[in-house]
Amino acid sequence: MYMVQEVLYICTGNRFRSMFAEAYTSASCSRVKSFSRGTDASEDVLNEVRDEMQARALWSRASKPRQLEARDLEKADLAVCMKPHHRKTVQEKYSIDVETVVWQVEEVSVDLPEKELRSRISSTFDRLEDLVDRRFVE
């Protein structure tokens, strides 16, 4: 278990992985404040992501996609990057000393057939729940 106050989840678009991790952490761990950002924030959220978050009763906790900024890293105790290139962006673009970890959570291609896309989104959310639980839930 990790004693932390503010966790920043970082992915590319902030419309899928980091958004879900933020919402799940908020719902499952009251002693951790979570927020999420994207290194290249999107303007939209996939319907399939919204549907899966609604099915898990987490959509109301989701924030709209937001671009990563220096002040986000300054307020975080820990930055959880979904892939190594997110950590690289943090290190190269911002000169802020924040602990970072990489969880190796793959992006899901939006070009998949709908049934497979929904299945991959669901399995990715299951994996993120497990990672959050292992790291932050008592």
Q: Whole-angstrom Cα distance, residue 112 to residue 120? A: 9
Segment 112-133, tens digit of pLDDT: 999 999 999 999 999 999 999 9
Segment 20-69, tens digit of pLDDT: 999 999 999 988 999 999 999 998 899 999 999 999 999 999 889 999 99
- pLDDT at res. 13: 96
Number of H helices, E strands in the chain: 5, 4
For the cut 90, the answer to whether the pLDDT of residue 90 exceeds it is yes
**CB neighbours of 81 closer than 8 A, spacing ≥ 6?**
10, 11, 87, 90, 100, 101, 102, 103
Query: ∠84-121-3 over CA atoms, to 5°?
Result: 55
The whole-model pTM stands at 0.94
